[in-house]
Amino acid sequence: MPGHGGSAAEVSGTFTWPVRVYYEDTDFGGVVYHANYLKFLERGRSEWLRHLGFEQDKLREQLGIQFVVVGMQLEFHQPALFNHELEVSVLVTGMRPASMIFDQSITDLTAGRALVCSAQVRAACVDSVTHKPKPLPREIVAELA
Amino acid sequence: MPGHGGSAAEVSGTFTWPVRVYYEDTDFGGVVYHANYLKFLERGRSEWLRHLGFEQDKLREQLGIQFVVVGMQLEFHQPALFNHELEVSVLVTGMRPASMIFDQSITDLTAGRALVCSAQVRAACVDSVTHKPKPLPREIVAELA
Amino acid sequence: MPGHGGSAAEVSGTFTWPVRVYYEDTDFGGVVYHANYLKFLERGRSEWLRHLGFEQDKLREQLGIQFVVVGMQLEFHQPALFNHELEVSVLVTGMRPASMIFDQSITDLTAGRALVCSAQVRAACVDSVTHKPKPLPREIVAELA
Amino acid sequence: MPGHGGSAAEVSGTFTWPVRVYYEDTDFGGVVYHANYLKFLERGRSEWLRHLGFEQDKLREQLGIQFVVVGMQLEFHQPALFNHELEVSVLVTGMRPASMIFDQSITDLTAGRALVCSAQVRAACVDSVTHKPKPLPREIVAELA
């Protein structure tokens, strides 16, 4: 992986994305503040979508949809430290007409790939104005089939 | 409750704390960004501890401990809107030697007490330097008994 | 001042608003992360507007306007600590057709009213869709005259 | 620039770093929340330091120092939009025994390199425990001479 926070790898269906821990991410306990892991998880899902060819601003403008998290199950195994390089993984494990289920993890590459956080995330496809559920776009369903 | 920073109510074991939604909390979907609900939940737990007489900076300085979230189960029912007044609830539902389990909710008072988020949170008591588990302070156990 | 969310005091034109430092606000240096002071400053301006009778969601819905920060001059004098109670001040020092200038400060009440941050903030009134400048609403101008 | 948010370029003394706008960075105005630009500016300075060979966790552990922002002058020219790719620039314009001055900018690459934010930032070198000023490490001074 080329140093600075870019590049993506796809291994047997799992997409990964690097994240660097900056000051903004930590709290006075000296480690990443727990709510900020959710940001990292979402960066992973956003980049996974982009990797498949879907830009979320376009999905919103052209199809009037966005994805919202409706449920999460989170385990925080070991804190991630300032300045460390992390890796977020994204794996789709379920699809329904208007939602998707993801298995995600965050590992600390600087700490020998220690598992930091594992998450199951349910994201619904909703109308970006009314926030009512809408079917997943056919293009995304086709891409994942 | 000492002057500034909100009013608190305790009803049959449930502690509540008000939170106002500011610009900082929202995202371009027009509602509160999902990770920010975790901040609101923690403000609730922090104020609950203070309400019981425990200041977290003192717990850290005097006993060398802090609380860290080790697991969460989250349901996001309905988005909370900009400028709305929310209420965070805190109820202890379990205690082990070195951890506590909380049932928490966030309701939107401005939207007729609509349920926004419900959460089960496991928080461990850890050494603030080593991050290793430590028994809950006797004072807290006594207070909750 | 309506119940929840803090008490407010107005002394000779200066409005103040209390802010508590939570985990979410700190970084691994053990103090408030510098960007988060900008959130506190904005909470102060939001509550000042509410205090004058203006709700920002209503301004947006009814007049199609919002305020955006277009310039800031910031001095960080002394860090604010976890769990401390801060006070944000708001004083209007200038008004133009489509913008306002504020003098603001953040003081640490828990640390003997130590000055934490002083700021000069320019906020423009803009169309909430196009982000183009719009004249300040007459009601606000009248209120401040 | 290779798509995904990595890679750095150094042109005539100016260091640049790419930043992608995610949901977490935006607010309900539909653009990046102003305080979050400060995070982007700091990512730029952190990566500039790393680029010179200095890791901030090591500076802290080995020399007991960290950098803190003590003053900023900010102009927000045009809002940056969700999903856009930004570029943060870093240029050292002044050095004193215990502080540095940076000229920084943020441009929106997706919006034709529009200037989003320009900033002058003063960062002091401080003892990471006492937060008192300390001279800049000789290695950094030598690197910049």
> Bridge-partner residues for A99, per DSSP?
A96, A124
Which run of H or of E encompasses B43? helix B34-51
The domain spans of chain A are 9-144
DSSP A78: S
Task: Tell me whether residues A31 and C31 touch, CB distance under 8 A.
Answer: no
Alpha-carbon distance of A15 to A92, in angstroms, equals 9
Here the tokens at position C127 are: 């169309």
Residues of A in contact with D18 (CB under 8 A): 6
**C25-34: per-residue pLDDT in tens?**
999 988 999 9
Which run of H or of E encompasses C45? helix C34-51
Alpha-carbon distance of C91 to C15, in angstroms, equals 7
Alpha-carbon distance of D112 to A98, in angstroms, equals 35
> Bridge-partner residues for B19, per DSSP?
B86
Residues of B in contact with C57 (CB under 8 A): 81-84
The overall average pLDDT reported for chain A is 91
Q: How far is C34 from chain A (nearest CA, A)?
A: 9
Q: What does C55-66 look like in DSSP terms, one character per residue?
A: -HHHHHHHH-EE
**C115-143: per-residue pLDDT in tens?**
999 999 999 999 999 999 999 999 999 98
> Bridge-partner residues for D16, per DSSP?
D9, D89
> Bridge-partner residues for B69, per DSSP?
B123
Decide if B104 contacts B44 (C-beta within 8 A): yes
Alpha-carbon distance of A135 to A126, in angstroms, equals 8
Decide if A31 contacts A80 (C-beta within 8 A): yes
Q: What is the pTM of this model?
A: 0.93
The class of domain C9-144 in CATH terms is alpha beta
Q: Which of C26, C74, C120 to mutate to test the interface with D (most CBs of D within 10 A)?
A: C74
**C77-106: per-residue pLDDT in tens?**
999 999 999 999 999 999 999 999 999 999
In angstroms, what is the C-alpha Rg of chain C? 16
Could you tell me what percentage of chain B is helix, strand and coil, using 3-state DSSP and rounding each to the nearest 5? 25, 45, 30
Residues of A in contact with C82 (CB under 8 A): 28
Instruction: Kindly list the averaged pLDDT for each block of 10 residues, start to end, along chain B of length 145.
Output: 40 87 94 98 98 96 96 97 98 95 98 98 95 94 87
Is residue A57 among the annotated active site residues?
A: no
